[in-house]
Every structure is written in structure tokens, then in C-alpha cells.
Amino acid sequence: MSSAETIAEGLVRGQDGLVRCNWGASTPDYIPYHDHEWGRPVDSDIRLFEKICLEGFQSGLSWITILRKRENFRAAFAGFDFNKVAAFTGADVERLVQDAGIIRHRGKIVSTINNAQRAQELVNEAGSLAGWFWSFEPGPADRPARIDRAVVAANPTTAVSARISKELKKRGWSFVGPTTVYAFMQAMGMVNDHFEGCHCRADVEKQRAAFKRPRLRK
């Protein structure tokens, strides 16, 4: 833990005087991700694919491990352009299994390639990944209690994350369980899980209010 001062449950004040969710100040590497990315709405299909794949790689590990390797993942997986990843072959799998810059988990590597192919199918079906994912945005009644994002085991599953997970699995996606999907929903800004009192919460909510939701193709 950094020298941040705990000021309330789930909140700390950093040396810069800003109040953050406690996980966001637990290491310097988290601060820019917490302050400028996590919870802010995303409508790029490539970035959404990246986020859901990295949440899958994170399964069983700490998120900081993935975050510190993110640029390596981007280099290894063609910037997470799913149209390129979908064309990866067995030779690419063997290359990636030997890549010390990423998580060398064969099942998760194969899953990423499979999910890229499934992403292409979903775009053909719905028009975009963004339109499909945002169509599941939960209402106020669906919101869970606040959580500590750094404690992976505490990440909740919700009716919405379970529904998205079920729909993805039905379409052949893998490593997309309800907990992984909820972490993805947090990361992509579908929900705002910055704690009350965090300096980012109001700005994230303002961005979410101004965000033009992508639509499904009719």
C-alpha cells in the first residue's frame, strides 16, 4: 500500500491531496488507470474487445499483473484488432505461449483467438460490439453494492452480467463468466463503481450522462 491516508471505508487520500477509491492508490501504477480510464464509457469495438479479453486473462490473477503487461498484450495480439486476431493460426498460438511478456496460458490464448472469431460473427449480427454490449446497460435497480476492485474475489456477479455471460457463451465465447463480465462492465463504463467521495466519481458520471450510446443495428 502507498502512503495514502484512509479517510473512510473504501477511500484514501493520496499525497497529491486527491481522494480515490482505495484500490486506485494501492500502487502508483494504478493511479492513471483509476483516474483517467476505469469507469469512463467506451464505444470502440477494438477497445471493448481488448478489455473483455484482458479481463479473461486476469481470471485467477491480480489486475495489476495484467495492467503492467498491457502494452505487451497489445503487441502480441495485433492491438486487439479482432479481425486480425481471428486469422491467427496454430503457429501464432505457439509463438504466444513462448512470449514472456504476456500471460502464457495456452487456454486463454486460444480463447482470445476464438473470441476474435466470435466477435466478427457478433458484429455481423448486431452491427458492432459496442451496440451489442451497451444494449445491456443496467438500470438503477440492477446496481450492486460498492466493491474494492483490487480484490478479485469480491467482484460481484449481477443479473445483467450473468445475462451477458450467458448470451456470449451461447455464441461460443469463452472465459466470459459472470464475474469476468462484471469487471468488464466496470472497466468499459457501463457502470460507475467509483466510491462516493472519490474525486473521479462525479466526472465519470458526467461523461456517462453525455455519452451517446451506440445502437444495435435494426
User: What DSSP line would sit under 61-101, residue for residue?
Assistant: S-HHHHHHTHHHHHHHTGGG-HHHHTT--HHHHHHHHT-TT
Q: What percent of the chain has pLDDT over 70?
A: 90
Checking if the pLDDT of 4 tops 80, the result is no
Checking if the pLDDT of 3 tops 90, the result is no
Could you tell me the pLDDT band of residue 8, with boundaries at 50, 70 and 90? confident
Amino acid 27 reads T
Domains of the chain, start order: 45-190 (1.10.340.30)
Q: What is the pLDDT of residues 21-35, one digit of tens each?
A: 999 999 999 999 999
Catalytic member of 30, 38, 63, 134: 63
- Residue 19 C-alpha cell reads as 481522494
Residue 216 contacts residue 135 (beta carbons within 8 Å): yes
**pLDDT at residue 108, as a whole number:** 98
Answer yes or no: 30 catalytic: no
Answer yes or no: 182 catalytic: no
**pLDDT at residue 96, as a whole number:** 98
**pLDDT at residue 113, as a whole number:** 98
Could you tell me the pLDDT band of residue 5, with boundaries at 50, 70 and 90? confident
Catalytic member of 23, 38, 50, 55: 55
What span, in angstroms and rounded, lies between the C-alpha atoms of 199 and 36?
A: 11
Q: What is the pLDDT of residues 149-161, one digit of tens each?
A: 444 334 578 889 9
Among 43, 112, 40, 41, residue whose Cα is nearest residue 76:
112
Q: What is the pLDDT of residues 119-146, one digit of tens each?
A: 999 999 999 999 999 999 987 666 555 5
Residue 152 contacts residue 63 (beta carbons within 8 Å): yes
For 27, 105, 180, 189, the CA distances from 183, given in Å and listed in that order, are: 19, 20, 5, 10
Q: In which residue are the cell numbers 499525497 written? A: 15
For 11, 87, 177, 204, the CA distances from 192, given in Å and listed in that order, are: 15, 35, 20, 7
Q: What is the pLDDT of residues 179-204, one digit of tens each?
A: 999 999 999 999 999 999 999 999 99
Checking if the pLDDT of 212 tops 50, the result is yes
Q: What is the pLDDT of residues 85-102, one digit of tens each?
A: 999 999 999 999 999 999
Q: What is the pLDDT of residues 32-65, one digit of tens each?
A: 999 999 999 999 999 999 999 999 999 989 999 9
Mean pLDDT taken over the chain:
91
**pLDDT at residue 200, as a whole number:** 97
